[in-house]
Amino acid sequence: MVKEIGIGIVISTLIILALQGFNILPLIFLSFLTFFMWQMLTNGGITGSSTANKGSTDKKIPLVRFNDIGGQDSAKKELMEALDFIKDINGIKYMGIRAIKGILLSGPPGTGKTMLAKAAARYTDSVFKATSGSEFIEMYAGLGAKRVRNLFKDAKQSAKKTGKDSAIIFIDEIDILGSKRGQVTSHLEYDQTLNQLLVEMDGLSVDDDVQLLVMAATNRIDILDQALLRPGRFDRIVQVDLPAKKGRLSILELHTANKPLDDGVDLEKIAQDTFRFSGAHLENLANEAAIFALREGSEKIKQRHFMEAIDKVIMGEKLDRRPAKEELKRVAIHETGHALIGEILNPGSVSTITITSRGRALGYVRHNQEDDFYLQTKDYIEKQISVCIAGAAAEEILLDSRSTGAKNDFEKAVKLVKIMVTSGMTELGVVDENAIPKELLHQEMTKIFTEIENFVRGLIKDNKEIVKDIADQLINNERFSGDELRKLLEISKSA
């Protein structure tokens, strides 16, 4: 009502001034500018929308259940144990337990953190309010703090309107608003917004009419302010990691349940070949395989469609360009070198070898492990370094020169050697990377490279004819599966 009266007064004043001959154009511009700024300060935006309307979704209760999420059994179990406290409010009060105010989901992108938050709302029968950390940060000081207050207020009001006793506020990318204070010196908007979030969480109590739980997700927990992570704020930190082989299999089963699979599809083999794939990658993999089958006119999705989809997810779409004959021969020898050393050192590890151009790669070899490993031994790292430098060694021995195609291989090898040094796996013993003299570090790394390179060169020389045979067939076929490659190796060795 006040706004309408004010607008009427301004319009009447402008009309009177215009009738008296005054130039009212500057006043009109000033009036619009004043109205614009007033809207920004009072409503938190040009549209006058509150946080609930702009940055959050009012979806009541999501349809996602914990059973719909695969590959995160450990995270689901830990999360459900924490949520059981919220479901038993009377038991909490009787035992004098402090209410859990916040749960932080930490892990790589695409692992299902948002889905876990939605499933938590379903599990607890709570209203779900979702927003992102970036929604709170504005150029005008104070607006972020206002939006935080409105978010908590709207969550409570939505729960009361729908007759629910609890609500979950989910903040995705909380590292944007919750990073360590004092880092942004241009203005204090970031710090004020975080301070308001801390205040709102401190005000949550088990005696509130509506039980509020703050859930947040981040893949950068290392940059969060410690005040957020202390007990009484985010009381539980749930790690949502990349799924292991068993988890990947369960995710594939979920995402292929509505797809017509051929009887020859081996989801367990696909799960093995997708080491370090996230849930989002696996969903995309199943989708791409279905697209390949549809383009081909196949009524069923076959194993080869999944294999093609794996290559696309990792490397990108096939490119039309094809290297010249001499360059293609070099690429084939390079990739055969990788594959040969991989098979010699880790039998059965090569999944695919191809010289089909994808993304920025002219060819590549995909290696897979029988099992997921989370610790690396010295022997394991040395084998990985050997595989990395095998392509360049094969080029040098068979073509008398190296190429820039080994640049990425050497970068990976250098990182692996540094891991050996900093993990105490060399003759230097336990060292501090920042304290060790650069010259000494360089000498030790050069020594390791020289030893491994001599070993790899010896293997390539001993199998020089085999490398030639496989490279020639690779030029004609462009691609071999791991099993086909191993058959060719057996034939070449027996010839």
Active site residues: 335
Distance CA 103, CA 117 (A): 9
Which residue's entry shows tokens 């067939």?
473
Residues 6+ apart with CB under 8 A from 85: 92, 97, 99, 100
Question: Residue 114 has which token pair?
Answer: 């948002």
Distance CA 267, CA 273 (A): 10
Question: Residue 244 has which token pair?
Answer: 């292991």
Angstrom CA distances, 108 to 111, 236, 283, stand at 6, 18, 16
Distance CA 318, CA 29 (A): 56
Distance CA 236, CA 376 (A): 30
Distance CA 466, CA 464 (A): 5
Residue 112 is classified by DSSP as S
Burial class of residue 138 (count of CB atoms within 10 Å of its CB; 0-12, 13-18, 19+): middle
- Say how many Å lie between the first and final Cα of the chain, rounded: 94
- DSSP, collapsed to helix, strand or coil, labels residue 199 as helix
Helices 279-296 & 303-315, crossing angle to 10 degrees? 120
